């Protein structure tokens, strides 16, 4: 399921990284985007700044949308699920290791920041429409709900457990 490839990443000054990480830290979602594309563009480009307590509800992208992610800073786990919410695989992105991943359309997935101050560069084809961009998993808690923190902790625990299995 995981496809790797190289991607050209736009430059990002250190001052902007610091500014957007602070915005992420101060946001309710513990993440903040720096959107590079214009509304209506067919090619979407965004830097995401993610803190370790950020929870993103598992989701997939319908309509053949393939998400392409590169790590800029920090360490991030990309977790894939089956249709019932069981983890099927995970991949860790970090500089000097696996740095790029393509997430196929219709693949349930989420991200877990394994360090504070994760920065990713993400691209996807298709005009952004919030009603059709993502389908959220009904088997996972919604963001900013009482169950979200516990679910994020369980994902992190599973990542640790799977890393030490023989």
The verdict on residue 25 lying in a domain is yes
Q: What is the total count of domains within the chain?
A: 1
Domain annotation covers residue 153 = yes
Please report how many Cα atoms fall inside a 13 Å half-sphere around the Cα of residue 122, on the Cβ side. 20
Confirm whether 40 is domain-assigned: yes
In this prediction, residue 7 carries a pLDDT of 60
Q: Are strands 31-35 and 108-113 parallel, antiparallel or unpaired?
A: unpaired
Asked whether residue 2 is assigned to any structural domain, the reply reads no
* Residue at 4 is within a domain: no
CATH number at residue 21: 2.60.120.10
Domain that holds residue 159: 14-164
Report yes or no on 103 lying in a domain: yes
Q: Of 43, 39, 36, 64, whose CA–CA distance to 126 is shortest?
A: 43
- Structural domain contains residue 118: yes
Describe the strand order of the beta sheet including 31-35 as a list of residue ranges. Answer: 31-35, 43-50, 118-125, 67-73, 100-103
**What string of pLDDT tens digits covers the 166 residues of the chain?**
344 445 688 999 999 999 999 999 999 999 999 999 998 888 999 999 999 999 999 999 988 889 999 999 999 999 999 999 999 999 999 988 999 999 999 999 999 999 989 999 999 988 877 777 899 999 999 999 999 999 999 999 998 888 755 4
User: Does 5 map to a domain?
Assistant: no
Question: CA-CA distance, 26 to 42, in Å (whole number)?
Answer: 31
């Amino acid at each position: 399921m995981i496809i790797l490839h190289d991607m050209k990443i736009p430059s990002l000054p250190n001052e902007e990284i610091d500014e957007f990480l602070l915005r992420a830290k101060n946001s309710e979602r513990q993440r903040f985007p720096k959107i590079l594309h214009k509304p209506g563009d067919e090619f979407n480009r965004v830097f995401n700044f993610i803190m370790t307590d950020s929870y993103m509800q598992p989701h997939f992208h319908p309509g053949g949308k393939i998400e392409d992610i590169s790590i800029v800073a920090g360490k991030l786990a990309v977790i894939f699920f089956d249709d019932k919410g069981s983890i099927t695989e995970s991949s860790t992105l970090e500089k000097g290791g696996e740095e790029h991943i393509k997430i196929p359309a219709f693949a349930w997935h989420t991200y877990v920041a394994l360090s504070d101050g994760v920065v990713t560069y993400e691209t996807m084809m298709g005009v952004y429409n919030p009603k059709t961009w993502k389908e959220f998993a009904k088997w996972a808690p919604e963001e900013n709900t009482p169950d979200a923190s516990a679910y994020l902790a369980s994902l992190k625990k599973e990542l640790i457990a799977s890393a030490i299995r023989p």
